[in-house]
Amino acid sequence: MASISSAFSLSLALFLGFSSTVLHLTEAQQLVQGLSWSFYDSSCPRLESIVRKQLQEVFKDDIGQAAGLLRLHFHDCFVQGCDASVLLAGSASGPGEQEAPPNLTLRARAFRIIDDLRRRVHRRCGRVVSCADIAAIAARDAVFLSGGPDYDVPLGRKDGLNFATRNATLANLPSPTSNTSALLTSLAAKNFDPTDIVSLSGGHTIGLSHCTSFTNRLYPTQDPTMGKTFANNLKANCPTANSTNTTVLDIRSPNVFDNRYYVNLMNRQGLFTSDQDLYTDRRTRSIVTSFAINQTLFFEKFAIAMIKMSQLSVLTGRQGEIRANCSVRNSDNLSLSSVVGEEEGSWSAF
Ligand code: HEM
Ligand SMILES: *[C@@H]1O[C@H](CO)[C@@H](O)[C@H](O)[C@H]1NC(C)=O
Ligand SMILES: *[C@@H]1O[C@H](CO)[C@@H](O)[C@H](O)[C@H]1NC(C)=O
Ligand SMILES: *[C@@H]1O[C@H](CO)[C@@H](O)[C@H](O)[C@H]1NC(C)=O
Ligand SMILES: *[C@@H]1O[C@H](CO)[C@@H](O)[C@H](O)[C@H]1NC(C)=O
Ligand SMILES: *[C@@H]1O[C@H](CO)[C@@H](O)[C@H](O)[C@H]1NC(C)=O
Ligand SMILES: *[C@@H]1O[C@H](CO)[C@@H](O)[C@H](O)[C@H]1NC(C)=O
Ligand SMILES: *[C@@H]1O[C@H](CO)[C@@H](O)[C@H](O)[C@H]1NC(C)=O
Ligand SMILES: *[C@@H]1O[C@H](CO)[C@@H](O)[C@H](O)[C@H]1NC(C)=O
């Protein structure tokens, strides 16, 4: 099979637990210098199977974690590049990305899942694989194991030495209240075109939102672009503007990575302004429609946009480091700094 032919073959692959269809976009995609499609082929050949096998176990218990992992990689990449900076705990040098408001709705378990994967990988291969690469592979597997496309991820990222400031975090993550104009402008700065933006927003085909992320569309007045029944159901879900409840992002198929998100938009059932306005705005409307009627097209464009996102401002080669613990930079790890001199190759912080 040369490419994904139908949703059916994908969900079959999902239930049988193997993949028969991988999008090989290696020729279509430009790689930034320092990343490669075969980076760990000799240093850690089992890397991707270790991650996938473990995530299959995690998702068997709680498929919601797939959404948490996908969003974590997005937040990592948009703020200061895909350098695992989002994973760093705040330290003496100040509060990090994690303390900025957008962090507060990242799932706590996603952080633990990434470091658990790192531990398994390092046990097998040594400290040669970065947390940033593990986060990128985990996001891909979250997509695939929820029913979405499988695709190759370029590898070779290093982990950053610093987290971003709270201000940088706020400035780089778009708000759910953004309209399409605002999204097009802020994402153009990261070199994303309208097709990329509509594709990436399709990440909202899985996962949850807290009421406070969208109740501005319900109270005090109802957003006229929101369907009436949909709005009434959301009001029952979130009786006040600051209710602490959550709701699903995709009412049609909340846990399956598919193109129903776009069908929702066509039916005025997008949850955020940033979602619904993609269908209101004439510059993106036809892209929404094309994905709603052709899931294969969405999967292809989504994979392309994800590969692009996964290369934002990456550290490679002698930049950065490979963390021994995803939430702590090595220089803050006293037990590690005494043995650092003995490590070769992967250590490049100085
Ligand atoms: C286009 C700009 C985007 C905006 C404004 C946005 C905004 C949001 C907001 C407000 C939430 C809910 C947070 C909460 O209240 O709990 C959310 C959840 C989520 N977002 Fe986005 N997002 C954007 C792009 C993306 C991208 C590019 C992806 C991945 C490709 C993504 C994947 C997710 C996922 C999977 C969730 C659910 C997380 C969970 O269930 O834990 N989003 N997003
Ligand atoms: C950031 O969010 C994660 C997940 O909720 C949490 O584990 C972490 O402690 C947060 N960081 C801070 C400094 O609050
Ligand atoms: C962060 O942003 C706030 C509000 O925009 C501003 O008042 C503050 O000075 C900024 N802090 C830094 C360190 O740039
Ligand atoms: C989009 O949002 C921006 C800034 O929030 C606002 O200035 C602009 O008028 C909005 N555009 C439309 C078409 O609503
Ligand atoms: C939370 O939402 C559910 C529906 O998803 C609803 O049944 C419940 O009453 C809501 N809880 C509160 C405290 O509003
Ligand atoms: C929640 O919002 C209501 C109005 O919608 C307000 O009366 C109340 O004080 C708010 N509570 C908090 C904790 O902000
Ligand atoms: C759907 O999109 C795919 C991928 O671009 C394309 O090959 C296929 O012809 C499209 N199907 C239809 C029915 O337009
Ligand atoms: C990683 O560092 C965090 C924060 O210091 C710590 O709580 C955790 O136990 C460490 N993990 C491992 C596997 O040592
Ligand atoms: C320090 O490094 C060791 C591995 O060399 C790691 O197991 C441990 O989790 C790290 N500790 C912290 C606090 O990061």
| The pLDDT of residue 344 is above 70 | no
| Domains identified in the chain and CATH numbers | 35-173+317-342 (1.10.520.10), 180-308 (1.10.420.10)
As a whole number of angstroms, the distance between CA 159 and CA 145 comes to 26
Higher per-residue pLDDT: 335 or 277: 277
Q: Is residue 188 helix, strand or coil?
A: helix
Tokens of 106: 């990242």
Half-sphere exposure in the Cβ direction for 197 (13 Å, CA): 29
- Model confidence band, residue 199 (pLDDT cutoffs 50, 70, 90): very high
Tokens of 51: 């991650």
What lies within 8 Å, CB to CB, of 341 at 6+ separation is none
The answer to whether the beta carbons of residues 226 and 217 sit under 8 Å apart is yes
Single pTM value for the model: 0.90
Among the atoms of ligand 5, which is closest to the Cα of residue 247?
5
| The pLDDT of residue 152 is above 50 | yes
The catalytic residue positions are 75
Range 146-181 burial, b when 16+ CB lie within 10 A, else e? bbbbbbbbbbbbbbbbbbbbbeebeebbbebebebe
Task: Count the helix, strand and coil residues of the chain and give each as a percent rounded to the nearest 5.
Answer: 50, 5, 45
Q: 321: which strand partners? A: 159
Over range 79-98, report the average pLDDT.
Answer: 74
As a whole number of angstroms, the distance between CA 129 and CA 116 comes to 13
**Tens digits of residue pLDDT in 10-33:** 443 444 444 457 887 766 678 999
Among the atoms of ligand 8, which is closest to the Cα of residue 326?
1
Q: 246: which strand partners? A: 210
Position 98 scores a pLDDT of 52
Position 16 scores a pLDDT of 43
Q: Tell how far CA 182 is from the center of its chain.
A: 20
Q: Please give the DSSP secondary-structure letter assigned to residue 251.
A: S
The answer to whether the beta carbons of residues 145 and 59 sit under 8 Å apart is yes
Position 333 scores a pLDDT of 84
Q: What φ, ψ does residue 154 adopt, rounded to 5°?
A: -65, 145
Over range 182-211, report the average pLDDT.
Answer: 98
- Model confidence band, residue 90 (pLDDT cutoffs 50, 70, 90): low
Tokens of 318: 């002698």
DSSP line for 337-350: HTTGGG--SS----
Least confident piece of the model among 78-92, 176-190, 256-270: 78-92
- 203 Cα–ligand 1 center, Å: 7
Give, for 301, the enclosing helix (H) or strand (E). Answer: helix 295-309
Probe target for ligand 5 pocket from 232, 245, 248, 271, with the most ligand atoms within 8 Å of CB: 245
Position 166 scores a pLDDT of 79
Tokens of 58: 């995690």
Nearest CA residue ID for atom 4, ligand 2: 108
- Ligand 5 within 6 A of 294 CB? no
Position 147 scores a pLDDT of 98
Position 190 scores a pLDDT of 96
